[in-house]
Amino acid sequence: MTMPVPDAPVPGALPTSEPSGGPSRPSRLDPAVAAGLRRTPDGLVVAVVRQYDTGEVLMVAWMDDEALHRTLTTGRATYWSRSRGEYWVKGETSGNHQYVHSVALDCDGDALLLEVDQVGPACHTGRRTCFHTELPVTGVAGDKRKARS
């Protein structure tokens, strides 16, 4: 079985519909799904990633229409790298794969929630999660939270 190369051009793909006027990259995303997305001016939607069975928040990344299409159709988390200007499949080089269990669109259409089975660390630093630096909460809400503990 031949697997498509993730960064290869998409034959026969139509340009992404970008209501915000961002750059257009070819996409095979279902037009009904694409219509529900509210993208940044770059044509991206933020993706919050959490472990499917524990709810642990692992990382945040960016997707365009094609990255979302690849994620939905392969079951492997695929993102758009803003710094490199290319697609990347989580774990393709590191071995720390994300196997997708579900994808949900938020009520505004401007964020995605991916529930994944994370193999190995999610963070490029080698930590399980990218959210490992806790900041102190000293305001009233923080005080009430501590009082309930």
Collect contacts of 9-14 with beta carbons under 8 A, ≥24 apart: 10/66, 13/66
Instruction: Bin 54: left if φ > 0, else alpha if -120 < ψ < 50, else beta.
Output: alpha
7 is known to lie in a ligand binding site: no
| Closest to 27 measured CA to CA, from 71, 69, 84 | 69
53 is known to lie in a ligand binding site: no
110 is known to lie in a ligand binding site: yes
Q: Burial, 102: exposed, middle or buried (Cβ in 10 Å; 0-12, 13-18, 19+)?
A: exposed
| Closest to 51 measured CA to CA, from 123, 142, 126, 124 | 123
65 is known to lie in a ligand binding site: no
Q: What is the largest CA-CA distance in the chain?
A: 59
Q: Which residues are annotated as a binding site?
A: 106-108, 110, 123, 130
* Feature table: binding site for Mg(2+): 106, 108, 110
* Binding site as annotated, residues for Zn(2+): 107, 123, 130
